[in-house]
Amino acid sequence: MKAPDQPDRASWLHGPPERCNPQPGKVARPWRLILLGPPGVGKGTQADLLHQTLNACHLSTGDVFRAVGARAECDLSPAMKAALAYMRRGDLVPDSLVWEMVLERGGCLRCGGGFLLDGFPRTLNQAESLRRQMENQGIALDAVINYELPIAEIVRRLSGRRTCRNCKAVFHVTERPPKTADVCDKCGGPLVQREDDRPESVQVRLEAYEQKTAPLIDLYRQLGVLLSVSAEGTPEQVCERTITVLKQTKQKASA
């Protein structure tokens, strides 16, 4: 069972005609944020903690792809079926197809509680598509949080990370262990090591990030929305650091 205050994100994970339950509530000052940073910095964990603080919905494209792989093929949209074919071959899903899947869930970008976009955009082309879509919908991006961490620490974190097969909650065998070994604290589901967290996959992921995603840092810095945050320390310390930076940015904007 999911926590009572956590929307199940059905419309984001599965696309139309699914609806989230309960519907995310509208807040007076919704935050619309992109979370950046190499694999292993804890973007998913921070998105969960920020959701609890800001009430913004956690929109993870990685969760969408994992949900696609778990659904019956008759329940998939054409874009989802095409993406699944790439995934089964072990190939990267093309930008155009990733964007098509995001567009299927376009209503989530207009969520009254705001959003925390995790895993998208990953390329300059995706960033431009997102910028145009938000501009067309009259939605403003508040900030892009870029989490920074030394590579040695990233490797250590990834090797110990465990993810709930059901609700996607993230734990760590030493830093954030579950109360019961291999069992999710939130829903009781099994905790597993993702294939892309295995040592042989880590270097490939870091190289892909440097080639395709790191250039986004320069783009958002030029646009004046980039906020760099150290990801060292406990998840709670990193979250507090993030909230402080966001409050400072808000104060500057209103000055």
Strands (E), the chain: 31-36, 57-60, 114-118, 143-148, 161-164, 170-172, 191-192, 226-230
Which residue carries 């329940």 as its tokens? 75
- 194 part of the active site: yes
First-to-final CA distance of the chain: 44
- Which residue among the candidates 9, 32, 43, 168 is catalytic per the annotation? 43
| Distance between CA atoms of residues 56 and 111, nearest Å | 8
Q: Is-contact 238 230, C-beta < 8 A?
A: yes
Give me the catalytic one of 66, 110, 156, 205: 205
- Catalytic residue, from 110, 194, 221, 241: name it: 194
Tokens of 194: 């993702």
46, 238 Cβ separation under 8 angstroms: yes
Q: Which of 161, 162, 168, 176 is catalytic?
A: 161
- Which residue among 9, 32, 105, 122 is the active-site one? 122
Separation of alpha carbons 130 and 220, rounded Å: 13
17 preceded by a cis bond (ω within 30 of 0): yes
Q: CA angle, corner 164, sides to 48 and 49, nearest 5?
A: 10
> Which distant-in-sequence residues (6+ apart) come within 8 Å of 114 by Cβ?
27, 30, 31, 32, 33, 54, 55, 56, 57, 142
How many angstroms separate the CA atoms of 242 and 143, rounded?
A: 11
- Tell me whether residue 205 is one of the annotated catalytic residues: yes
User: Which 8-state DSSP code applies to residue 167?
Assistant: T
- Active site amino acids: 43, 122, 161, 194, 205
